[in-house]
Amino acid sequence: MLQKTSHFMRQANLVGGEWVQADSGATLDVTNPATGLKIGTVPKSGKAETRRAIEAAEEAFNSWRKTSVLERHKLLRKLHDAIMDNQQPLAELLTTEQGKSLAEARGEIAISAAYILWFAEEGRRTYGDVVPSPWADRRIITTKQPVGVIAAITPWNFPSSMLARKLGPAFAAGCTTVVKPASQTPYSALAWGVLAEEVGFPKGVINIVTGSASEIGDEICTNPLVKKLTFTGSTDVGKLLIQKCASTVKKVSMELGGNAPFLVFDDADIDRAVEGAIVAKYRNSGQTCVCTNRFLVQAGVYDAFVEKLAAATAGLKVGSGFEEGTQQGPLIDEKAVEKVEEFVDDAKAKGARVVAGGKRHALGGSFFEPTVIADATPSMKFMKEEIFGPVAPVFKFETEEEAVRLANDTEFGLAAYFYTGDLGRAFRVMEGLKYGMVGVNEGLITTVEAPFGGVKESGLGREGGHQGIEDYLDTKYVCLGGL
Ligand code: ADP
């Protein structure tokens, strides 16, 4: 399998256009979650390597910022085409290190390319203003300028597309980058280095460093040359990084955890709700920050929904991402399985009923059965904590007001979904949900054209949409006097 992907699989850092090892020569192993077998290694880098990567990005910024927007647009279009021309090998590399089905991996590569194209286009529309002046002898203009060196720290659940929506706007705006990918899935990030090199990005515009999260993170957060940190990952790590970035007053964008509610009202189309529930829950084996964490179902349709969801869940095909027809791959590692097990045990001990799955899958390793848990109550762990696995707890509610209150009873506020056939209710609930993104009668809502992001402790800023480039630009006000 890997022979086909070896062209993109680099086992080195990319710094200033050179593929290099850690100073100490130390490495980290990368394993395939479906087999537990080692795929290869990457450098175990720390502060010194990161500092050099930042300095390379700063040097490249001095010339990259002066390129025309059209020049950058053309390079981004080439990058888009190169990604799509290599969709299959890039998807295979992604499945090998991450575990998701090849169909989902191909989808992720396609959306990565789509983000690049979107920001290639948005880069041409970063207008400034000419402002009516209160002074007869002075004129006021504003322009947008690239922020500078951007650092991106990314997670293992979408190792390609989480970078696409950071690199796309950074490059389009004229920023240069230092990337630190998750250690579980570094190869899909390193592949961005290969692609950028091959389509002709200047050296140093993208730098990639793998290794110790805390050392690389510390250097990124405290180095004054880095002007912005964009992070996707857990809320705990996000909070730590915001604190560390305070020392140099960096801009920060944070895509953090979620606790997505999925509400089904008595007046909903239940079959459509079940269809939406399957994608909103089991995509990427439940390992996305917008995956449903809690199903809240009105009493009148509760039993019917549970029965249909359990039947649909039991029909999901679990297996290696490379097997034809696989709908659910393994979880990322043993720790993830232990967490899911703990949540299921906690629910069972508190009186919940397991109506589908409920245990480790017969395939062994980090495979877990797609699971539905009925009679969930707010005292159970998944009311407050992110499951990040294929477990669907179903709570019962009586009234609309109770449903919205339960849905909002969390410090998170990323995505929420609800199903109803009533127009008035659709507006009331949509306006009542304290979330950054809401799907009404839809379970899969992410697209490059729309702003992705959360409120409350789910994050700061938006990625994608026309909003997604704003954080990569500073507004400069210029006053021309003496006219
Ligand atoms: P998850 O629980 O999804 O693995 P994390 O927040 O732990 O999410 O990881 C997301 C990214 O943040 C990864 O690239 C990880 O290596 C990185 N990371 C984890 N801890 C730190 C830290 N202390 N400083 C900087 N980056 C970190």
Q: Is the predicted pLDDT of residue 3 greater than 50, yes or no?
A: no
Give the three-class secondary structure for 144: strand
Question: Whose alpha carbon is nearest atom 23 of ligand 1?
Answer: 214
* Residue 340 near residue 367 (C-beta atoms within 8 A): no
Q: Tell me the pLDDT tens digit for each residue of 122-143.
A: 999 999 999 999 999 999 999 9
φ/ψ (deg, to 5) at 364: 80, -160
Q: Per DSSP, what are the bridge partners of residue 404? A: none
Does the CB atom of residue 365 touch ligand 1 within 6 A?
A: no
DSSP assignment letter at 203: T
Per DSSP, the residues of 263-284 read EE-TTS-HHHHHHHHHHHHHGG
Helix or strand holding residue 418 (H, E):
strand 415-419
> Of these residues, 49, 55, 215, 255, which one is catalytic?
255
The residue written with tokens 């079940």 in the block is 274
Question: Whose alpha carbon is nearest atom 4 of ligand 1?
Answer: 155
How many whole angstroms from 162 Cα to the centroid of ligand 1?
A: 13
Does the CB atom of residue 153 touch ligand 1 within 6 A?
A: yes
Does the CB atom of residue 182 touch ligand 1 within 6 A?
A: yes
How many whole angstroms from 155 Cα to the centroid of ligand 1?
A: 7
pLDDT at 6: 73
Does the CB atom of residue 133 touch ligand 1 within 6 A?
A: no
Give 98's contacts (C-beta < 8 A, 6+ positions apart).
Answer: 33, 105, 156, 157, 159, 184, 185, 188, 321, 329, 332
C-alpha to C-alpha distance for 321 and 94, rounded to whole angstroms = 10
Find the mean pLDDT for residues 365-391. Answer: 96
Does the CB atom of residue 237 touch ligand 1 within 6 A?
A: yes
pLDDT at 130: 98
Q: Which atom of ligand 1 is nearest to the CA of 238?
A: 6
Does the CB atom of residue 336 touch ligand 1 within 6 A?
A: no
Find the mean pLDDT for residues 279-306. Answer: 97
So what's the ipTM on this one? 0.93
Q: Which atom of ligand 1 is nearest to the CA of 157?
A: 3
C-alpha to C-alpha distance for 406 and 408, rounded to whole angstroms = 5
Question: Whose alpha carbon is nearest atom 18 of ligand 1?
Answer: 213
Closest CA to 303 of 276, 266, 275, 357: 266
Q: Is the predicted pLDDT of residue 202 greater than 60, yes or no?
A: yes
Question: Whose alpha carbon is nearest atom 15 of ligand 1?
Answer: 182
Mean per-residue pLDDT of the chain: 97
Does the CB atom of residue 214 touch ligand 1 within 6 A?
A: yes
Could you tell which of 156, 185, 215, 237 is best to mutate to test the pocket of ligand 1, judged by most ligand atoms within 8 Å of the CB? 237
Strand 292-298 with 415-419, pairing: unpaired
Does the CB atom of residue 162 touch ligand 1 within 6 A?
A: no
C-alpha to C-alpha distance for 422 and 275, rounded to whole angstroms = 19
* Residue 170 near residue 116 (C-beta atoms within 8 A): no
Give 444's contacts (C-beta < 8 A, 6+ positions apart).
Answer: 276, 279, 280, 283
DSSP assignment letter at 134: S
Could you tell which of 42, 44, 45, 153 is best to mutate to test the pocket of ligand 1, judged by most ligand atoms within 8 Å of the CB? 153
C-alpha to C-alpha distance for 335 and 228, rounded to whole angstroms = 31
Question: Whose alpha carbon is nearest atom 3 of ligand 1?
Answer: 233
What percent of the chain is helix, strand and coil (3-state, nearest 5)? 45, 25, 35
Tell me how many degrees the CA angle 307-291-191 measures, rounded to the nearest 5. 135
Note if 324 is an active site residue: no
Q: Tell me, rounded to whole angstroms, the distance of Cα 155 from its chain centroid.
A: 7
Give 236's contacts (C-beta < 8 A, 6+ positions apart).
Answer: none
Does the CB atom of residue 183 touch ligand 1 within 6 A?
A: yes
Find the mean pLDDT for residues 149-160. Answer: 98
Q: Is the predicted pLDDT of residue 415 greater than 90, yes or no?
A: yes
Does the CB atom of residue 233 touch ligand 1 within 6 A?
A: yes
Question: Whose alpha carbon is nearest atom 7 of ligand 1?
Answer: 234
Find the mean pLDDT for residues 205-211. Answer: 98
How many whole angstroms from 156 Cα to the centroid of ligand 1?
A: 9
Q: Which atom of ligand 1 is nearest to the CA of 388?
A: 3
How many whole angstroms from 214 Cα to the centroid of ligand 1?
A: 8
Find the mean pLDDT for residues 276-280. Answer: 98
Q: Tell me the pLDDT tens digit for each residue of 232-277.
A: 999 999 999 999 999 999 999 999 999 999 999 999 999 999 999 9
Helix or strand holding residue 135 (H, E):
none
- Tokens at 127, concatenated: 């207008």
pLDDT at 344: 97
C-alpha to C-alpha distance for 401 and 382, rounded to whole angstroms = 21
The pLDDT-based confidence of 1 (bands split at 50, 70, 90) is very low
Find the mean pLDDT for residues 292-312. Answer: 98
Strand 473-480 with 139-146, pairing: antiparallel
Quote the percentage of the chain above a pLDDT of 70.
Answer: 99
C-alpha to C-alpha distance for 437 and 94, rounded to whole angstroms = 27
